[in-house]
Amino acid sequence: MNSPETIDLTHLRQWVGRQQTSTDTLSLRHARLMAATLGQNPEQLQAHDPLPPLWHWVYFLEGLTPEQLGRDGHPARGGFLPPVPLANRMWAGGRLEFFAPLRLDEPAEKRSQVISVEHKSGRSGDLVFVTVEHEVWQDGARALREEHDIVYKNPSPPPSPTQTQKQGQSTPPAPGQWQRQCRPDTTMLFRYSALTFNGHRIHYDQDYCRQVEGYDNLVIHGPLNATLLAALAHDVGHEQGQKILRRFSYRGLQAATLDTALHYHAQATEGGLNLWVHRDDGVVSMQAEAVWK
């Protein structure tokens, strides 16, 4: 395991301020494929409709050659993102502000910038947090602003059967006012990886998951979980009088892997919702907060 001395924070912080810009057309076809992946009716989406929340992750994709990828299937480090010397990279969470709806089948621009690099060390070893700011613009106006948190760490070995038995079942929080359930399968993970051009092997390579990154099964995408929570928030808003999302924040707590159902909950707060998703064993995998306009 890397010691704190191997994390050259001064060097890594040279990436703070690094920028990149990309353009794309928010294709109706890709949005309909996303709808099908999530079990929704693709034909309900039409050109110039608002893009559902967090579906902008289907666009502005970077097509790199195999030589430009790392062992995990992500882009090799040291380009736009700093070369953090820790094996595992995870999508830890983020915060979004919505200013105007993004419209389907219309061009848009994404402007990205590394805004912070932080290092922490504890019982679990070294952690490096990289935060990237994204802004998406359409028709000359800023439509959304996002801060995306990426965490790097060394792998943990999967728990032994004895450890798993000792952990037992956790007690989930009390049910929320609104509830949904989803049981992702390999087809859903494959489709979501394809739509987001996500080559991270934890979502399709079981041997890699178990032998390299320490997971017991394929990992359900953190952004997929966040998208499903945002969909619940969006639908509750419509039920409550066409309320529109102004802010949405989410934080991954525990990885969710295949062979578990995911239980999504929302509870009303003053001005928005608290949301969470827990696994069959009661462990909360992700928490989120939605604020209305």
- Residues 181 and 143 placed together within one structural domain of the fold: no
Inform me whether the pLDDT recorded for 149 exceeds 50.
yes
φ and ψ at 249, to 5 degrees? -130, 150
Residue 21 shares a structural domain with residue 145? yes
Structure token digits, residue 281: 């064993």
pLDDT given for residue 5 in this prediction: 47
Query: Which domain, by its residues, includes 75?
Result: 1-154
How many residues are given for the chain?
A: 293
Place of tokens 């943990």: 156
Q: What is the number of structural domains in the chain?
A: 2
Residue 161 inside a domain? The answer is: no
Do residues 22 and 110 make contact, with C-beta atoms less than 8 angstroms apart?
Answer: yes
CATH of the domain at 225: 3.10.129.10
- When pLDDT is cut at 50, 70 and 90, the band that residue 250 belongs to is very high
- Helix (H) or strand (E) holding 245, with range, is strand 245-252
Sorted by sequence, the CB contacts under 8 Å of residue 287 that are 6+ apart come out as 250, 251, 253, 274, 275, 276
For residues 103 and 165, the model is more confident at: 103
60 and 136: one domain?
Answer: yes
Q: Are residues 139 and 171 in the same domain?
A: no
Whether residues 149 and 118 fall in one domain:
yes
Residues 141 and 9 in one domain: yes
Distance CA 160, CA 101 (A): 47
DSSP state of 176: P
Please tell me the predicted confidence (pLDDT) of residue 71. Answer: 74
Neighbours of 44 (CB within 10 A): 9
In 10 A of CB 150, how many CB atoms?
21
Place of tokens 């966040």: 226
DSSP structural state of residue 106: S
In a domain, 102, yes or no: yes
Q: What are phi and psi of 75, to 5 degrees?
A: -55, 140
SS3 category, 33: helix
User: Count of CB atoms within 10 A of residue 163's CB?
Assistant: 10
Query: Residue 247 contacts by C-beta under 8 Å, 6 or more apart in sequence?
Result: 95, 96, 97, 98, 272, 289, 290, 291
Model pLDDT for residues 32-63, shown as the tens digit of each residue:
999 999 999 999 999 999 999 999 999 999 88
130 in the same domain as 11: yes
In Å, the largest CA–CA distance within the chain is: 58
- Listed in sequence order, the DSSP H helices in the chain are 9-12, 28-37, 161-167, 186-195, 206-208, 222-239
- Distances in whole angstroms, Cα of residue 92 to Cα of each of 110, 189, 253: 21, 18, 8
- Express each pLDDT in 153-207 by its tens digit: 887 665 554 444 444 567 878 999 999 999 999 999 999 999 999 888 999 999 9
- Write the pLDDT tens digit of every residue in 15-37: 999 999 999 999 999 999 999 99
